[in-house]
Amino acid sequence: MSCIILPAESQSEELKGTLSVYVSPSIRHQIEQPDMNNDPYSLADQPVSQSAISLLEGLATTRAIRRYTNEQIPHEHLRDILYSATRAPSGSNRQPFRFLVLTEGEQAQQAKALIATSAQEIWTAKEQADGYGQGSGADPNSPKSRMAKTMRSYVEHFADVPALILPCLVRYRAPDPMEGASVYPAVQNLLLAARALGYGGVITGFHKPVESELKTLLDIPEEVFVACTLTLGKPQGKHGPVRRRPLKEFVFTDKWGKAADWAIDPPGTRFTSAGPPQKQGQRPI
Ligand SMILES: Cc1cc2nc3c(=O)[nH]c(=O)nc-3n(C[C@H](O)[C@H](O)[C@H](O)COP(=O)(O)O)c2cc1C
């Protein structure tokens, strides 16, 4: 904290005899907690926010968050989240990632509504095709029905998400399977930074059926690849540990399929039965 005590002779008549303390803009902000969307100070003077959780805890608890409060994300937090996203690696450090952040404007509303319609169609078709109402889905408390309920609510409220972000890749050569590695690390950085600041989000592919309308609406150049759709906001529920398959199924040593001895999940790890679809008679991969 910078602290300058002004000499008495430089003080105005009213201030004579009082102590004047100069407080830097970032500290002043922490003390005054101003309306962060109405920045009276410059973000250029403000360091990235501190996080109360460790990096590894954040990694283990960044879940897909699909239910948000109505709170908007203050500009300073959007700045920190997007700053963190853009610290990601990319091939030859060319940084071909771009983020179109859509919050409250006219175009944002139109883009959200456009993708909302697509999301509802996609989910309705998937819900039927995957039999979400059948089997354990008939029990309203089963994980399957809870998932279906969350998804229904997500797509129904999609047009009202606090922030819709389109992470994009500016192509500078022919499409290549490796190109995603120059945009998706930035997407994950974004989600992790959001988690660190108490926000949550989810990657979706809901933009795909309406990609050309979206490009027209938002002036996105033809050569730009919209890598995914991401929604972001303050979670209505809590963050918690993600559930995955056991570590030994992911980590091999010496040869394909040979689990590493040290690939042992730490205490408290939560597991899921989800995983890649297996064909009958096929050995696990
Ligand atoms: C490539 C990709 C596509 C995804 N597409 C969608 C989608 O269209 N809709 C959706 O609601 N979630 C989508 N997700 C989110 C996944 O369902 C979610 O990350 C996964 O189930 C793990 O969730 P968890 O981290 O909460 O365990 C997608 C995630 C990825 C990585």
CATH number of domain containing 193: 3.40.109.10
* Residue-range definition of the domain harbouring residue 264: 244-276
The total of structural domains in the chain comes to 3
Q: For residue 154, which atom of ligand 1 is closest to its CA?
A: 11
In a domain, 284, yes or no: no
Rounded CA-CA distance 173/80 in Å is 30
Same domain, 204 and 271: no
Same domain, 173 and 79: yes
Same domain, 162 and 39: no
Work out the average pLDDT over 74-92: 97
Pocket test for ligand 1, best of 122, 156, 202 (most atoms within 8 A of CB): 202
Work out the average pLDDT over 243-250: 97
Same domain, 176 and 35: no
> In 162-184, which positions are buried (b, 16+ CB within 10 angstroms) versus exposed (e)?
bbbbbbbbebeeeeeeebeebbb
pLDDT > 60? residue 27:
no
Same domain, 193 and 267: no
pLDDT at 1: 35
Same domain, 129 and 249: no
Q: Which helix (H) or strand (E) is 167 found in, with range?
A: strand 163-170
In a domain, 239, yes or no: no
Same domain, 259 and 221: no
- The candidate with the shortest Cα–Cα distance to 65, out of 240, 197, 229, is 240
Adjacent-strand bridge partners of 233: 200
In a domain, 265, yes or no: yes
| pLDDT tens per residue across span 257-274 | 999 999 999 999 999 988
What rounded mean pLDDT belongs to the chain?
Answer: 88
| pLDDT tens per residue across span 121-174 | 999 999 999 999 899 888 989 988 999 999 999 999 999 999 999 999 999 899
Nearest CA to ligand 1 atom 11: 204
Question: What residues are in contact with ligand 1 under a 6 Å CB criterion?
Answer: 63-64, 202-206, 242-243
Nearest CA to ligand 1 atom 27: 242
Cα(204) to ligand 1 centroid in Å equals 6
In a domain, 219, yes or no: yes
Nearest CA to ligand 1 atom 13: 204
